[in-house]
Structure 1
Amino acid sequence: MSQKMSSHAKGLALTAFGGLILTVDIPLIRLANGDNWSILFLRTGTTVIAAIIMWAIWRALTPNAPRLLPGRIGVVVAALYGLGSIAFITAVYNTSTANLVFILAFNTMFAALLSWIFLKERPRPITMIAMLFMILGVLIIVGDSIGTGQVFGDLMALTAAFLLASAITISRASGKDMGFTSLVGVILPFAVASFMISKGGLNVEAPLWIILNGALVMPIAFFCLANGPKYLSGPEVAMFYLLETVLAPVWVWMIFAEVPSRNSLIGGAILIVTLIVHSLYQLHAGRRRSQLAVPHSV
């Protein structure tokens, strides 16, 4: 029992650390102050190099290191993460930070919907109700952007959320270790960005910020979050993704004085409250089922 509790505590610490590190991703992108293709080039390039170095060291220390790409399914998952990265960076430059992170939180409900369609895992009534509330929240945010030129950015954020959910669903269905797959997947946006900057050149005022982001922040955050499900349930891991939704707009407000609009705050509040309530309910239900499954000693 103590070993089980120790593993759970390890998972909580690991996932919380990863979620907290991820909250500085968008502020570092903004601090670098460059065009989207230059930022994507440096961010993904340094992430690939860092991932390969991490994997090589791990491989040298033990033969049990996970594969960079576990078969063809790994290539598909990596491609989804890569396309999601392109959509994410595009959204950063075409909508507000608050809109972006609030809409990205919708990936949890996308994952539930995809699991229902492709894995035949029918969502519980509470999940379907949560989906309706989250759709309402996203509609409020996107509706507030109509006429402001931010609709395209909001749609790119929604696309990034869908691609991330697709990658998570396929990873779960395969049952394979995809710890490094999300990091290797950035090779695709790196190739696209390399082609684009070959025409217009590299344009980043403070490249150190984005190099720091790609070399340390992204590998550490995604590696920790990808390993969370080894120790925690899905709802517990999902809760730590909310750290970016809550804290990233705060960092951007403190650094850049970018104040979210009223409708963005309303829609974001609906998304956050819905996700927290849904996650807490799932946790409670899961623990209750576990207790009922344990036979009582006489």
Structure 2
Amino acid sequence: MSSHHDHQKGLLITAIGGLTLTVDIPLIRLADGSPWTIMMLRTGTTLIAALVIWAVWRALRGNAPQLIPGWSGLVVALCYGLTGVTFVTAVYHTSTADLVFILAFNTVFAALLSWLFLREKPRLGTVIAMLAMILGVLIIVGGSVGTGHLFGDFMALCSALFVAIAITISRASGKDMGFTALVGVILPLAVALFMVSGEGLHVNQPWWIIFNGSVIMPISFFCLANGPKYISGPEVAMFYLLETVLAPVWVWLIFAETPSRNSLIGGTILIVTLVAHSLWQLHEGRRRRVALAVSHPA
């Protein structure tokens, strides 16, 4: 009964995190400001919120995890910091659909890095999924040639790579990196502060981005980071797909930004592949657990 309750709890927590994350890009767009001002406000409020939550946690319970656990934590924070820079840059240089579809490619990078550095050889089904996703990204990027979106697509691809590196190092270290992603915003905050000091503040609706950084980002990161405590990795991955599916919908409804034909084709390939692969992993996991229970009965 407890196990069933924990699973339901994990599904609820992760669903909240995934749904919350879907409004990140629309809020950035609604703030209507320059990239550096938006980055400064988004990362600054996220950092303040993270430090307040950590301080309250430490004061009330005394068992708050380290903000940056050792050298591995420092590298993970750096990766998330670089992601912050490339992500906001991509928001301003490519379409929302291209951005979220390419970000989903981080699963391929994670699988490749795990293969190279953790000696976790991917199974045939994963290799097939990786090839399909490479095809999807190539279709999206190919459609951006000559449209001015190629640089933004490259920044989105860099974001996917940095997230994959952070995930791989986190898994290899086995340390609690719950607050590390939030503290990692120090890097883009420092860069943004330097740039804003020269060009000045440029934002028409600052409350949208302040709300994003102080509420949306902490909730989404906290919930998604805690999901794996209760449910499997493939199930968590399914909720990350909510941003891939819903963010372009919100942007279409608010800004009337219609995805290109290539973006829709490539994005469909990515989403179908990720869903099919996640369902396959869930099936394989259940099958292995059943086999283990039969061979080792209680």
Q: Using structure 1 for the length normalisation, give the TM-score.
A: 0.98
- Secondary structure in 2 aligned to 1:120? coil
Distance 1:183 1:35 in 2: 22
What residue in structure 2 maps to residue 253 of structure 1?
A: 252
Deviation at 1:5, TM superposition (A): 1.4
What amino acid is aligned across from residue 142 of structure 1 in structure 2?
V
3-state SS, counterpart of residue 202 of structure 1? coil
Q: Which runs of 4+ in 1 moved over 3 A?
A: 295-298
1:230-280 Cα shifts (integer Å, max 9, x gaps): 112111111111000000000000000000011100000000000000000
Q: Equivalent residues in 2 for 1:186-265 (5 A)?
A: 186-265=185-264
The alignment-based identity, stated in percent, is 70
Residue of structure 2 equivalent to 1:80: 79
* 1:228 Cα offset (Å): 1.2
- For residue 199 of structure 1, what is the amino acid of its counterpart? G
Return the offset for 1:39.
Answer: 0.3
Equivalence for 1:41: 40
Residue 168 (structure 1) aligns with: 167
Q: Aligned pairs, how many?
A: 297
Question: C-alpha displacement at 1:297, in angstroms?
Answer: 5.1
CA distance in 2, matches of 1:99, 1:125: 27
Aligned to 2:145: 146
Offset, 1:34: 0.4
Q: With structure 2 as the length reference, what TM-score do the two structures score?
A: 0.98
Instruction: Give the unaligned 5+ runs of structure 1.
Output: none
Cα separation, 1, equivalents of 2:259 and 2:200: 33
RMSD: 1.0
- 2: distance between equivalents of 1:186 and 1:229? 23
Query: 1:93-148 CA deviation, whole Å, 9 max, x = no partner?
Result: 00000000000011111111110110000000000000000000000000000001
Distance 2:185 2:51 in 1: 12
Query: Which string of whole-angstrom CA distances, capped at 9 and with x for unpartnered residues, describes residues 35-68 of structure 1?
Result: 1000000000000000000001111111111111
Matches of 1:3 and 1:179, distance apart in 2: 24
2:270 alignment counterpart:
271
Within 1, Cα distance between the matches of 2:297 and 2:122? 33
Gaps of 5+ in 2: none
Query: 2:30 maps to what in 1?
Result: 31
TM-superposed deviation, 1:76: 0.7
Q: Secondary structure at the match of 2:65?
A: coil
Once residues 297 and 186 of structure 1 are traced to their aligned partners in structure 2, the CA distance between those partners, rounded to angstroms, is: 48
Q: For the structure 1 residues 70 and 297, does the alpha-carbon distance in structure 2 shift closer, same or farther, using more than 3 Å as the test? A: closer
Structure 2 CA distance for aligned equivalents of residues 24 and 226 of structure 1: 18
1:152 positional shift: 0.4
CA distance in 2, matches of 1:225, 1:70: 19
What's the counterpart of residue 92 of structure 2?
93
Structure 2: distance between partners of 1:236 and 1:274: 15
Looking at structure 2, the residues matched to 22 and 242 of structure 1 have their Cα atoms a distance apart, in angstroms, of 10
Q: Deviations over 1:65-98 (max 9, x none)?
A: 1111111111110000000110000000000000
Question: Residues of 1 paired with 2:188 and 2:137: CA distance?
Answer: 26
Q: Which moved more, 1:286-295 or 1:137-146?
A: 286-295
